[in-house]
Amino acid sequence: MNVLLLTSEFYPNSLGIGTYATELARHMADDVAIHVVTPKRTQFGNTRINGDKALEKLPKNVCVHYLGTARDTFMHYFYFQLACQRYVPSFVKKHDIDIIHSQNTMPDLFLSPKRLQVPVITTIHTIEGERLPAVRWAAACSGIRLSKLERSEKMSVFLGSSLYAAGHAYYTNSRHYIAVSHWTKDQVLRHQNVAAERVQVIYNGVDDMMFTPHNGHLADEHFPGLVDIEDPKILFLSRVTASKGAYMLMKAIPRILREVDAHFIFAGPGGKLLESNNQNSTTELGYVDHCITPSLYALADIFILPSFYENFPLSLLEAMASGRAVIASNVGGIPELIEHRHNGFLVQPGSIEDIACATTTLIRDDRLRSTLGHNARLTVEDRFNWGQVAARVLDYYECVVNEN
């Protein structure tokens, strides 16, 4: 089978869609030829990145074709869509493509599956009809004006009606879909005119050989300054944005430090943290290359993701595979992954009190923290391994191709 994987992000862009596309390609069966078409990224913020070395690590059945460049602007998605409109039809014929697997940044927005005569599957990572209200809610709770939001969130708000219209045009019964959680599928059926039988739920996965509790020794090399900190370390690793709850965690820090000693690590691209009087208790790393994040999870004691909106976050899976006790908001597809007080803590989005209470509880209770981390690791080993996910996706490919 020849698969065209259309994605606006790919390694070394280690955000959600980039990680999903990269890991799916890496773990696909050897007899499936994966052609990845993606814009090339050479910089993230002020950080120069080189993806050429990463290509050497991909299996022989994966070939990457760069189409344009990826930049820190919202418009690069649109430029990629235009490039795909020109490039993909001839690419499909040249490489005898059997199926196209797209992502819901809609790189194939201007392409028709009927005209291509090739079925298209789109993985749904985000539902704009749910995310945009969450961004506004997060801004209100965080006390941030919409004009001061991080660039991607600001553009989403300002272009909200256009994005919704584009999505409504895109989501039709001419495509098939992978929803990364049952919650995601329910939202698609609620917001879009798509038949239920065209939406298959396949959870995200994690490489539990790469993310393990035994990566602590690597932290000495990559994060020596953090290793020497004796206080319990709380890690936030995601986009530093309002909707991811970064600013709510900042607001909770003074309450937490009144009760216990702790050090907070913020990692990921995005906006600047709010000014605080607790700068000695926080470290802001900015963008961190995905290949060294396993050691970052391993040196942390607790991972926290107090989002206002999520489908099925990969960072949460990575933290759980690393055996960390996790705190996450009770939103979206997260309750399908986290069972409260069994393999993690669930908190209400926007609740500073919940964030502070959960964090102080886990800092004080070493045994509970260890038990949650152990159960988290067992959860991902049993249900969310990338090898299992890739096998389910391949089954879906075959089903759709046979149907067409």
The stretch 2-12 carries a mean pLDDT of 90
Mean pLDDT of the chain: 90
Confidence of residue 147 (pLDDT cuts 50, 70, 90): confident
Q: Which residues of 226-243 are buried (b: 16+ CB within 10 A; e: fewer)?
A: beeeeebbbbbbbbbbbb
The stretch 17-28 carries a mean pLDDT of 93
The pair phi, psi for residue 390, each rounded to 5°, is -60, -40
What's the number of CA atoms in the CB half-sphere (13 Å) around residue 186?
6
Q: Which of 172-181, 262-271, 314-323 has the lowest mean pLDDT?
A: 262-271
Single-letter amino acid, residue 205: G
Confidence of residue 266 (pLDDT cuts 50, 70, 90): very high
pLDDT at 169: 87
Closest CA to 248 of 111, 116, 351, 364: 351
Does position 390 have pLDDT exceeding 60, yes or no? yes
Single-letter amino acid, residue 204: N
**What is the SS3 assignment for 40?**
strand
To which residue do tokens 């199926």 refer? 99
pLDDT at 158: 82
Task: Tell me the Cα Rg of the chain.
Answer: 21
Identify any residues that bridge with 69 across adjacent strands, giving them in sequence order: 40
pLDDT per residue as tens digits for the range 55-111: 677 899 999 999 987 766 667 788 899 999 999 999 999 999 999 999 988 999 999
pLDDT per residue as tens digits for the range 198-247: 999 999 999 999 999 998 888 888 898 898 899 999 999 999 999 999 99
Count the helices and strands in the chain (H runs, E runs).
16, 15
* All domains of the chain in start order, with CATH: 2-205+385-403 (3.40.50.2000), 216-383 (3.40.50.2000)
The pTM of this model reads 0.92
Identify any residues that bridge with 103 across adjacent strands, giving them in sequence order: 123
Does position 45 have pLDDT exceeding 70, yes or no? no
